[in-house]
Amino acid sequence: MEPKRTGSPGDASLDVRLIPEYDGSSGQPISEWLDKLELVCRLRGVDDVTSVIPLRLAGGAFAVYSQLPIEHQRNAAKVKAALRAAFEVDSFVAYERFVSRKLGPNELPDAFLADLRRLAALFGGVSEKALACAFVAGLPGSVRQLLRVGSRLEDLSLGDIVNRARAVLKDDFPVSLSDTCLGAAEPRRRQEQRMPDSASESEWKCSAECEQPSERTTGPPSRRSRGRRCRKPGKRLWGGGLGANLLPHSMLTKALPSVRLRIDGTPRNVLVDTGCSKCVAHVESCKRWTRRPVSLLAVDGKELRCQGTGIVSLEQNGGRRATVEAIIVIAKPLGFDFVLGMNGIEALGGVTVSKGPRVSFGSESAEICSAGVDAIRLEERDFSVAYDPVTRVWSAAWKWTGGEGPAVLKNSVKEYSPSAWARASYEKELEKWIQKAWLVPYDCRRYGPVKGLIPLMAVVQRHKQKVRPVMDFRELNAHIEPFTAAADVCADKLRQWRRQGANVAMVDLKDAYLQVRVNEALWPYQTVEFRGRRYCLTRLGFGLNVAPLVLKAILNFVLSQDPAIKRGTSAYVDDILVNEDVIPASRVKEELERYGLECKSPERLVDGARVLGLKVHSEHGRLMWTRGNAVGDVPQELTRRAVFAYCGELVGHLPVCGWLRVAAAFVKRSANAATKSWDEPIDDGTIGPLLKEIAARVKEHDPARGIWNVSGDRARIWVDASGVALGVALEVGGAIVEDASWLRRDDAQHINMAELDAVIRGLNLAIAWKMTIIELMTDSSTVYRWIADGLTGKSRLRT
């Protein structure tokens, strides 16, 4: 039950329902709500507003309040400051709204001025003169002209200007707005004196294209309304409606977008006019129409005499049908039998006009509906993905663990500051994100209260000489449980790709994650702060745990629609390997773009390309791979985190590393032994020199290189073990295609058992390559005898 009354020593009969609930999602500004709350409390004699505020908060607003410390909840100033910080727009947004604010339909000038004052106060206030200029600039053009008649506005005070505007608007108040789909009609003066007393307001509303009097009226629009019609170029006002049919010289008609459609069963020449809100039909093209007084005005100011309105049936060549209302004319507009306005375009599923001009509708349009692509929805356990064929946009929504997300994320860190040399590139990239609307200013009125702040940070991509802004999604990821059982493994994907032969190419998506929109309901959880302003990320973020799975689901779906493309492609995140013996890479690129995915130009491996961080090139008629990134310098300040990051850069997912793999593992083990935490400085004097020696040897002769192509099912495995490590190497066709090594634990296991362990790991590596004929090479006679006895059945291996 909702509490109705609260009290104070001054008055014990305050009905809190006098104060509206505030949840942060309504259009009411928080300052206005707080002012009303304080006014009610003052009038009812309640001195302690902190006892009333929480009773009328809900949703995100109550979540903000509940997170305040108890001592702050008892302080009215602290509570109001917290609510204003969460839900009041910042000074930049307030200024943008101030300069763009216009008098709304049915809005009183005093309310308009009050809102201008409120917005101005949010960015520091303006003078009365500036406020008067903003007030006049926000009035309709016709009202501004009347205000200037007979006096200089510069000589009037703000109060006088408001009084004059009030008087003008009282006589010129809009009765109704046009229902045109392209925009509202200009306001028209009240015409009650010409309305029958019994006529309802709805009977006098204007149509999208022309004024249609109700059955109670007997004549065309009044002379007064005709006399006021606009004589300026562009769309014209006629009886409250808009029309935009062009009547240029006849030589231009060939350049107009036209198409053949069946109108009431008969093929007709149709002009497509997106500036006309209703269809217009020649009298011979419509079988069902009724005569009524209707007028239509063209953009050149000429009046087209109309016969009435009717219902017509539209049919495309592909069979799609629609029934729409049309205005009937006796003269063919520009010689066309029919003008297809916006009501007909919408009924046919949208239109695309391309070069030619070529006109296509709905599902037959390759541009607007991706050549017959229907709406798509993919449901997974941890996310859902949808594709809109009209806008050609993919959108994703993650699913919360347990079905419900957190009320508010707790993080308050805005940014992990990038280094000084990376700052300029980092900020330039973020500015590009804002220009492309990947980051948009956060509007609490539209999106609701902010529910999360994601820290920004910079990642340096050395191979591209680029700084990429990324976000720390760790707190948000804790509330999303990804289903990773079917996730791709980079090493496995590399093995598959290296078996595809030499006639292959790479197709890479441009800004892959940023091509996928995030459902708007989740934007409050993806906010960032940049240069003192709050933005929300509208796209899929790099670092979100389900982002790779979303991209995989999208690419798997798109690439599986054509059997040839499915057979000749393999994708890993945003990289797609194309076997051009099966399908040309250009065909794959076209298919991706048909589904709204923008790609870079294909790169053939024989011409040199990057593949999952490796550089692949042709050398002496064979494809070879090398390290994709230059080896950087050893970090100046060594911590466990810095050592592990540098060693990861040295070996990463490289297929062959030789001695380097064991050396990197040994350095990491030494760093673990020398520290107790990830960010503790390393005082050991041996790790730094060892890293520098390793880096120098790698720069002089890098062991990370090898042949790219792998074929056949026959392989030789080299295995060995020592007191320090185990090692295996897979040889195919006389070349090592992959190696691996593991440091031994500090245990008392016999060396023969370590040798056997190396054999098992080597066999696993060969199986991962799908080898069926395996030659095992070991220098341990004991292990050789164990394996031979087991294979011949002479003895059984103990397990």
Half-sphere exposure of 511 (CA within 13 A, CB side): 16
Query: Has this prediction a pTM greater than 0.75?
Result: no
pLDDT of residue 12: 46
Under the banding of pLDDT at 50, 70 and 90, the label for residue 253 is low
CATH of domain 714-792: 3.30.420.10
Q: What is the pLDDT of residues 696-750, one digit of tens each?
A: 999 999 999 999 999 999 999 999 999 999 999 999 999 999 999 999 987 767 8
The answer to whether residue 678 scores a pLDDT higher than 90 is yes
Residue of higher predicted confidence among 659 and 212: 659
Judge whether 207-212+231-364 and 714-792 match in fold.
no
Distance CA(467)–CA(166), nearest Å, equals 56
Under the banding of pLDDT at 50, 70 and 90, the label for residue 763 is very high
pLDDT of residue 739: 97
The residue type of 100 is: S
The answer to whether residue 773 scores a pLDDT higher than 60 is yes
CATH 3.40.50.150 corresponds to the domain 383-611: no
Tokens of 665: 């593992």
Kindly report the backbone phi and psi dihedral angles of residue 773, in degrees, each rounded to the nearest multiple of 5, phi listed first.
-115, 110
Under the banding of pLDDT at 50, 70 and 90, the label for residue 495 is very high
- For 327-344, b/e burial (b = at least 16 CB within 10 A) is bbbeebbbebbbbbbbbb
Q: In degrees, to the nearest 5, what angle opens at C-alpha 778 toward C-alphas 775 and 782?
A: 120
Q: What is the pLDDT of residues 114-153, one digit of tens each?
A: 888 888 888 888 888 888 888 888 888 777 777 765 567 7
H helix and E strand count, the chain: 23, 34
Q: Please compute the mean of the pLDDT values over residues 38-62 and round it to a whole number.
A: 81
pLDDT of residue 103: 86
Please list, in sequence order, all residues whose beta carbon lies within 8 angstroms of the beta carbon of residue 620, skipping any fewer than 6 positions away.
none
CATH 2.40.70.10 corresponds to the domain 207-212+231-364: yes
| DSSP state for residue 367 in the 8-state scheme | T
| DSSP state for residue 53 in the 8-state scheme | G
Distance CA(32)–CA(39), nearest Å, equals 11
The answer to whether residue 413 scores a pLDDT higher than 90 is yes
Domain ranges of the chain: 5-87, 91-171, 207-212+231-364, 383-611, 631-707, 714-792
pLDDT of residue 54: 84
Q: What is the pLDDT of residues 431-461, one digit of tens each?
A: 999 999 999 999 998 899 999 999 999 988 7
Q: Please compute the mean of the pLDDT values over residues 219-224 and round it to a whole number.
A: 39
Q: Please compute the mean of the pLDDT values over residues 163-176 and round it to a whole number.
A: 62
User: Is 268 within 8 Å of 283 (Cβ atoms)?
Assistant: no
- Could you tell me which of 553, 547, 587, 542 has the C-alpha nearest to residue 569? 587
C-alpha distances out from residue 769 to 154, 466, 652, 764, Å: 84, 35, 19, 9
pLDDT of residue 302: 61
Rg value, the chain, Cα: 36
Half-sphere exposure of 522 (CA within 13 A, CB side): 23
The answer to whether residue 615 scores a pLDDT higher than 70 is yes
Under the banding of pLDDT at 50, 70 and 90, the label for residue 362 is low
Residue with the two structure tokens 């007979």: 150
pLDDT of residue 65: 82
DSSP assignment of 307-345 = EEEEEEEEE-TTS-EEEEEEEEESS-GGG-SEEE-HHHH
Please list, in sequence order, all residues whose beta carbon lies within 8 angstroms of the beta carbon of residue 527, skipping any fewer than 6 positions away.
442, 450, 452, 453, 454, 534, 535, 536, 537
User: Is 545 within 8 Å of 400 (Cβ atoms)?
Assistant: no
Q: What is the pLDDT of residues 308-345, one digit of tens each?
A: 888 888 887 666 778 888 898 888 887 788 999 888 88
Q: What is the pLDDT of residues 460-470, one digit of tens each?
A: 876 667 888 99
Distance CA(204)–CA(456), nearest Å, equals 56
pLDDT of residue 13: 59
Distance CA(312)–CA(290), nearest Å, equals 12
pLDDT of residue 748: 62
| CA 671 from centroid of its chain's CA atoms | 42
